[in-house]
Amino acid sequence: MLRVGMLTSGGDCQGLNAAMRGVAKTLYEQVDEVEIYGFIDGYRGLIEFDYRYMSPAQFSGILTLGGTILGTSRQPFKNMLDPIEGSSMTKLEAMITSYRRLNLDCLVTLGGNGTHKTAKLLADHDLNVIGLPKTIDNDLWGTDKSFGFQSAVDIATSVIDGIHTTATSHGRIFIIELMGHNVGWLTLHAGVAGGADVILIPEIPYRVESVARAISARSSQKKRFSIIAMAEGAIEASEADLSREELKLARSTMEYPSVAYRLAAQLDAEMGQEIRVTVPGHFQRGGTPCPYDRVLATRCGCYGAELILKGEFGYMVGVHDNVMVKVPLEEVAGRLKSVPLDNDLVTFARRSGIFFGDE
Ligand code: F6P
């Protein structure tokens, strides 16, 4: 009997169910006796021994379903050694205890950066762990793509497309603020796909004057509108030397709801022109996975199941040059995959006339 635990942790995204289905279907096909246990709301369920037995039927009909059938929550890695209220155990000890109580052979963790840090901690304590890479931010080290990313790019692009038509009609300047946490992959890809005129990402600090110059240049070419795709984590050149903590503090005391609103006010002051802001927010993480993500999530799930069958644990599944690979958790944990400055899409975008606010 093979006994497998599964959980989805951190922010949800498209493709989580497809990936779990890929694991489950492969195991049911390849092994005579398999039992799968799903922990509810990610590591919370593992900590609190809140789980349910998953029947094969529960993995049917979920390929196209967004979100996660197991629920998810954010359980910060930095608190994993804290004691649980009213108990003598730490969260880590409680997770190990849950794994042992269910007599699991392995645990499949679907998540992003925080999830994989905790996955490594569990692996360091002799639990058999396999990680699957999910995040719309695409910032996971060790994989070219994570599932959820392409679906979010598709949604963000359709937002830019929609804004394009109204911006054209009115001859307006729009800032579309996109998710991505501290990296710019989502904004870069959606910005290029949506034909944005300016793309602002955290990896390339911008100057307001430079953005204003780009817009003025377009106006002088008789272009009636401008579209700025801005990452939620974009930073001004004057903020570039701040530590992560200092930046966090600066953002929490900022008088605007987000960076896009601040830039809109600054551009208004600089150019005397009214700027509109659109923030699609969590909509980017919602709804059905796009076909690309259904395929990627299925590949990740099936490859993860193969690692389980071979008894190879302590890895995150990744994709390199379109080939599935296993990446040691210690290589992944705690590392961020930012957009490199020499990324070819950045280069092509610049060469084709898109501004990044640092010109
Ligand atoms: O990591 C995924 C993500 O959607 C980021 O792009 C965003 O910054 C964050 O999660 C939002 O977190 P929450 O869902 O907790 O508001």
Q: Are 157 and 284 in contact (CB under 8 A)?
A: no
The region that residue 313 occupies, defined by phi over 0 for left and psi between -120 and 50 for alpha, beta otherwise, is beta
Instruction: Please work out whether the CB of residue 181 comes within 6 Å of at least one atom of ligand 1.
Output: yes
Quote the ligand 1 centre to 179 CA distance (angstroms).
7
Sorting pLDDT into bands at 50, 70 and 90, what band is 273?
Answer: confident
Q: What was the pLDDT predicted at 269?
A: 95
Parse the chain into domains and list their residue ranges: 2-147+289-332, 151-284
Core vs surface per residue 46-75: b (16+ CB within 10 A) or e? bbbeebeebeeebbeebbebbbbebbbbeb
Q: Give the position of tokens 């990744």.
A: 318
d(CA 103, CA 113): 27
Instruction: Please work out whether the CB of residue 262 comes within 6 Å of at least one atom of ligand 1.
Output: no
Q: How many CB atoms lie within 10 A of CB 256?
A: 14
Sorting pLDDT into bands at 50, 70 and 90, what band is 78?
Answer: very high
**Model pLDDT for residues 217-258, shown as the tens digit of each residue:** 999 999 999 999 999 999 999 999 999 899 999 999 999 999
Our mutation pick for probing the ligand 1 site, out of 72, 113, 136, 181, counting the most ligand atoms within 8 A of Cβ, is: 181
Same fold, 2-147+289-332 and 151-284: yes
Provide DSSP, 232-269.
Answer: TT--BGGGTTS-HHHHHHHHHT-SSSSHHHHHHHHHHH
Instruction: Please work out whether the CB of residue 12 comes within 6 Å of at least one atom of ligand 1.
Output: no
CATH architecture observed for domain 2-147+289-332: 3-Layer(aba) Sandwich (3.40)
Residue 162, pLDDT > 90, answer yes
Instruction: Please work out whether the CB of residue 137 comes within 6 Å of at least one atom of ligand 1.
Output: yes
Which residue has a Cα nearest atom 10 of ligand 1? 11
Rounded to two decimals, the pTM is 0.97
Tell me what the pLDDT averaged over the chain comes to. 97
Tallying the residues shown for the chain, one arrives at 359
Average pLDDT of span 152-175: 97
Which residue has a Cα nearest atom 8 of ligand 1? 181
Fold of 151-284: Rossmann fold (3.40.50)
**Model pLDDT for residues 54-73, shown as the tens digit of each residue:** 999 999 999 999 999 999 99
> SS3 breakdown of the chain: % helix, strand, coil, rounded to 5?
45, 20, 35
Sorting pLDDT into bands at 50, 70 and 90, what band is 274?
Answer: confident
Residue 315, pLDDT > 90, answer yes
**Model pLDDT for residues 330-351, shown as the tens digit of each residue:** 999 999 999 999 999 999 999 9
Q: What was the pLDDT predicted at 214?
A: 96
Our mutation pick for probing the ligand 1 site, out of 151, 285, 337, counting the most ligand atoms within 8 A of Cβ, is: 285
Q: What was the pLDDT predicted at 80?
A: 97
